């Protein structure tokens, strides 16, 4: 129950639910054509969403999920780096 959670436990749960929401929203926008896989907004949503899952998964001992999401965050970070690099070349 939420009333029995410590502030830290509540923050961990919020990170998990926030992460899930961001990743789902990013996928929804991608599927609707509102964002592309090459957009910084899409990648940032995945990076922050994955980070929320890392915190929540690690806390709950769901290490396969936490590791998967560390890799998810790294992929998003590399994509953001490439987007930035491309932007600098075009200016």
- What digits encode the pLDDT tens for the residues 35-49? 999 999 999 999 999
* Model pLDDT, residue 84: 96
| Weakly modelled stretches of the chain, pLDDT under 50 | none
> Is 16 domain-assigned?
yes
In a domain, residue 1? The reply is no
2 in a domain, yes or no? no
* Position 52 in a domain: yes
As for how many domains the chain has, the answer is 1
38: three-class secondary structure by DSSP: coil
Give the model's pLDDT for residue 65: 97
Domain extent for 47: 8-90
Question: How many angstroms separate the CA atoms of 57 and 62, rounded?
Answer: 5
pTM of the model: 0.91
Q: Give the separation between CA 70 and CA 55, rounded to whole angstroms.
A: 10
């Amino acid at each position: 129950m939420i009333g029995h959670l410590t502030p830290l436990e509540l923050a961990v749960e919020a990170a998990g639910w926030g992460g899930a929401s961001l990743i789902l929203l990013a996928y929804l926008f991608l599927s609707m054509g509102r964002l592309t896989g090459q957009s910084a907004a899409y990648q940032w949503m995945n990076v922050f969403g994955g980070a929320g899952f890392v915190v929540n998964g690690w806390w709950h001992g769901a290490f396969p999920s936490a590791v998967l999401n560390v890799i998810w965050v790294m992929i998003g970070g590399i994509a953001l780096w490439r987007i930035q690099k491309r932007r600098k070349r075009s200016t």
